[in-house]
Structure 1
Amino acid sequence: MLKVSNLSVSYGNTRIIRNLNFSLGEDEILMLVGPTGCGKTTILQALAGLIPISEGQICLDNWRATPDRFVQPEKRNVGMVFQDFALFPHLSTEQNIYFRLKNKELAERWIQVLGLEELRHARPATLSGGQKQRVALARTLAHNPACVLLDEPLSNLDAALKDSLRWEIRNALKEAGVPAIWVTHDQEEALSVGDRIGVLNNGVLCQLDTPENCFSEPASRFVARFLGEASFLPGRLSDDQKTVHTTLGEAPAIPINDASDQVDLLIRPDDLSLQQDSTGHGHISWVRYEGGARFYAVQLDDDTEVKVRVSHEHRLEPGERVSLSIITTHPLAAYAKR
Structure 2
Amino acid sequence: MLKVRNLSVHYGSTRVVNNLNLALGDDEVLMLVGPTGCGKTTILQALAGLIPISEGEIQLGSWHATPKKSVPPEKRNVGMVFQDFALFPHLTVQQNVCFRLSDTALADHWLNLLGLDAFRHTKPANLSGGQKQRVALARTLAHEPAFVLLDEPLSNLDAALKDSLRWEIREALKKAGIPAIWVTHDQEEALSIGDRVGILKGGELEQVDSPERCFSEPASRFVARFLGEASFLPGQLRQASVETELGHAPGIPINGAGGAVDLLVRPDDLSLVPSVQGNGVVDWVRYEGCSRLFAVTVDGGAQLRVRTSHEVQAEPGERVQLAIVTTHPLAAFARS
TM (norm. structure 1) is 0.99
After TM superposition, where is structure 1 displaced by more than 2 Å over at least 4 residues in a row?
none
Q: In the alignment, is residue 335 of structure 1 matched against residue 333 of structure 2?
A: yes
- Please give the secondary structure, in 2, of the residue aligned with 1:280: coil
Equivalent position of 1:182 in the other structure = 182
Q: Quick one: distance in 1 between partners of 2:61 and 2:188?
A: 32
Q: Quick one: distance in 2 between partners of 1:158 and 1:61?
A: 38
Map 1:233-244 onto structure 2 (within 5 A): 233-238=233-238, 240=239, 242-244=240-242
Q: Is the 8 A contact 2:270 2:326 kept in 1?
A: yes
Q: Quick one: distance in 2 between partners of 1:61 and 1:305?
A: 51
Map 1:120-159 onto structure 2 (within 5 A): 120-159=120-159
Equivalent position of 2:4 in the other structure = 4
Equivalent position of 1:99 in the other structure = 99
Matched AA of 1:301: D
Q: Quick one: distance in 1 between partners of 2:310 and 2:275?
A: 19
Equivalent position of 1:221 in the other structure = 221
Q: Quick one: distance in 2 between partners of 1:57 and 1:281?
A: 55
Equivalent position of 1:206 in the other structure = 206
Matched AA of 2:212: E
Equivalent position of 1:309 in the other structure = 307
- Please give the secondary structure, in 1, of the residue aligned with 2:36: coil
Equivalent position of 1:192 in the other structure = 192
Equivalent position of 1:263 in the other structure = 261
Q: In the alignment, is residue 63 of structure 1 matched against residue 48 of structure 2?
A: no
Equivalent position of 1:46 in the other structure = 46
Structure 2 unaligned residues grouped into runs of 5+? none
Q: Quick one: distance in 2 between partners of 1:293 and 1:325?
A: 18
Matched AA of 1:257: N
Q: Quick one: distance in 2 between partners of 1:323 and 1:188?
A: 29
Q: Quick one: distance in 2 between partners of 1:162 and 1:267?
A: 28
Q: In the alignment, is residue 288 of structure 1 matched against residue 286 of structure 2?
A: yes
Map 1:64-79 onto structure 2 (within 5 A): 64-79=64-79
Matched AA of 1:259: A
Deviations 1:149-182 (A, max 9, x none): 0000000000000000000000000000000000
- Alpha-carbon offset, residue 21 of structure 1: 0.4
Q: In the alignment, which of 283, 298, 322 is matched to residue 296 of structure 2?
A: 298
Q: In the alignment, is residue 252 of structure 1 matched against residue 263 of structure 2?
A: no
- Alpha-carbon offset, residue 298 of structure 1: 0.3
Deviations 1:36-60 (A, max 9, x none): 0000000000000000000100001
- Alpha-carbon offset, residue 302 of structure 1: 2.1
Q: Quick one: distance in 2 between partners of 1:61 and 1:105?
A: 25
Equivalent position of 1:16 in the other structure = 16
Matched AA of 1:282: G
Q: Quick one: distance in 1 between partners of 2:313 and 2:95?
A: 56
Q: Quick one: distance in 1 between partners of 2:310 and 2:80?
A: 42
Q: Quick one: distance in 2 between partners of 1:120 and 1:109?
A: 12
- Please give the secondary structure, in 2, of the residue aligned with 1:111: helix
- Please give the secondary structure, in 2, of the residue aligned with 1:192: helix
Q: Quick one: distance in 2 between partners of 1:102 and 1:310?
A: 57
Q: Quick one: distance in 1 between partners of 2:134 and 2:315?
A: 45
Q: Quick one: distance in 2 between partners of 1:121 and 1:281?
A: 65
- Please give the secondary structure, in 2, of the residue aligned with 1:165: helix
Q: Quick one: distance in 2 between partners of 1:265 and 1:113?
A: 47
Q: Quick one: distance in 1 between partners of 2:186 and 2:242?
A: 31
TM (norm. structure 2) is 0.99
C-alpha root-mean-square deviation of aligned residues, in Å?
A: 0.5
Q: How many residues align?
A: 336
Q: Quick one: distance in 1 between partners of 2:262 and 2:90?
A: 58
Matched AA of 2:173: L
- Alpha-carbon offset, residue 315 of structure 1: 1.4
Q: Quick one: distance in 2 between partners of 1:77 and 1:314?
A: 55
Q: Quick one: distance in 2 between partners of 1:34 and 1:203?
A: 9
Equivalent position of 1:116 in the other structure = 116
Q: Quick one: distance in 2 between partners of 1:327 and 1:198?
A: 29
Q: Quick one: distance in 2 between partners of 1:103 and 1:75?
A: 20
